[in-house]
């Protein structure tokens, strides 16, 4: 067995001088080039987990290793896509996408080539010189995605990237993302409240418990790849997995934002 790309051992994280335990003794191995989805109720520590992986915050206990190095030494290895786009409103689409490359002091030609490549790949050609407020929500999310892809980090961390979008745009982007990942091999950690999204995109899906967050179960999504929205969703195995996850979340009595939102699927 090769070494896991991302390895968590006994990871706990508490806030407010230990009064709030967000994560409790998490052990997790995420493998190279897998799409690892995480579902769980609101407040169970999903965002906290991503921030630990991104080196933005430190563990209270345990270790987070990326490629065998401490996460805070591997900050440049990861790129994050946020729920609310995270674009600079004062920069054009082009400048937003080029930002991470400039930060990494890449040569000018390379910046231009890569920025244009990912703008094209995410369907934003022709919108290079407009500002985020001139884009639709779906286009803004594409720009956020282009920016994260352009820096070529081999780990992509996505925190409910499609939560703010309407159901149709969301499905289009899921489909596109599955297509992009078929070309650009990446290790992806993808957080979502949508069970459908997790099953359609994931190689595995982790179900978390209510706070303090623990990993309750990890399911392998044994649906064939490349996936396509219609074929995957009509597969009886898809329904089986989806219903199983729903039952697991419901078992924890997740009302409100948890199981109900997840069962609703797209919001």
3-state secondary structure string across 124-141: CCCCCCCCHHHCCHHHHH
Q: Which string of x and - marks every residue 19-38 that binds ligand ATP (by CB under 6 A)?
A: -x-x----------------
Q: Taking the complex as a whole, how short is the minimal distance between the CB of residue 144 and ligand ATP, in angstroms?
A: 17
Determine if 122 is a binding residue for ligand ATP (CB under 6 A). no
Residue positions counted in the chain: 267
Determine if 60 is a binding residue for ligand ATP (CB under 6 A). no
| Two structure tokens written together for 267 | 């919001």
3-state secondary structure at position 194: coil
**H helical segments located in 12-107:** 46-53, 93-103
Angle subtended at Cα 106 by Cα 101 and Cα 108, rounded to the nearest 5 degrees: 100
Q: Nearest residue to Mg ion, using CB?
A: 47
Nearer to ligand ATP, 140 or 211 (CB): 211
Stretch that binds ligand ATP, among 44-52, 112-120, 174-182, 198-206 (CB under 6 A): 44-52
Pairing state between β 35-39 and 78-81: unpaired
Closest CA to 22 of 5, 2, 4, 40: 40
Q: Taking the complex as a whole, how short is the minimal distance between the CB of residue 47 and Mg ion, in angstroms?
A: 3
Stretch that binds Mg ion, among 39-47, 117-125, 136-144, 180-188 (CB under 5 A): 39-47
Number of neighbours of residue 58 by Cβ within 10 angstroms = 12
Q: Taking the complex as a whole, how short is the minimal distance between the CB of residue 199 and ligand ATP, in angstroms?
A: 18
Residue choice 14, 21, 32, 47 for contact with Mg ion (CB under 5 A): 47
How many residues bind to ligand ATP according to rule CB under 6 A? Answer: 12
Determine if 47 is a binding residue for ligand ATP (CB under 6 A). yes
Per the CB < 8 A criterion, the answer to whether 102 and 151 are in contact is no
Chain contacts with ligand ATP (rule: CB under 6 A): 15-16, 20, 22, 42-48, 211
């Amino acid at each position: 067995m090769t070494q896991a790309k991302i390895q968590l051992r006994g990871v706990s994280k508490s806030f407010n001088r230990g009064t709030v335990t967000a994560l409790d003794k998490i052990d997790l191995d995420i493998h190279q080039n897998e799409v690892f989805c995480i579902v769980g109720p609101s407040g169970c520590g999903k965002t906290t987990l991503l921030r630990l992986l991104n080196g933005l915050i430190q563990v209270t206990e345990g270790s987070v290793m990326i490629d065998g190095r401490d996460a805070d030494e591997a900050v440049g290895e990861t790129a994050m896509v946020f729920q609310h786009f995270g674009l600079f409103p004062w920069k054009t689409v082009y400048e937003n996408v080029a930002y991470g490359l400039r930060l990494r002091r890449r040569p000018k030609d390379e910046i231009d080539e890569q920025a244009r490549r990912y703008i094209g790949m995410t369907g934003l050609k022709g919108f290079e010189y407009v500002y985020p407020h001139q884009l639709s929500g779906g286009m803004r999310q594409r720009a956020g995605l282009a920016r994260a892809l352009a820096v070529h980090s081999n780990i992509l961390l996505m925190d409910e990237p499609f939560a703010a979008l309407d159901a149709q745009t969301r499905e289009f982007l899921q489909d596109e993302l599955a297509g992009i990942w078929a070309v650009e091999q990446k290790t992806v950690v993808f957080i979502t409240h949508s069970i459908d999204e997790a099953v359609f995109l994931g190689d595995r899906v982790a179900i978390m418990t209510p706070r303090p967050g623990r990993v309750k179960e990890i399911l392998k999504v044994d649906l064939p790849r490349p996936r396509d929205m219609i074929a995957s969703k009509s597969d009886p195995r898809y329904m089986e997995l989806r219903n199983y996850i729903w039952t697991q979340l419901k078992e924890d009595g997740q009302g409100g934002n948890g199981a109900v939102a997840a069962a609703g699927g797209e919001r």
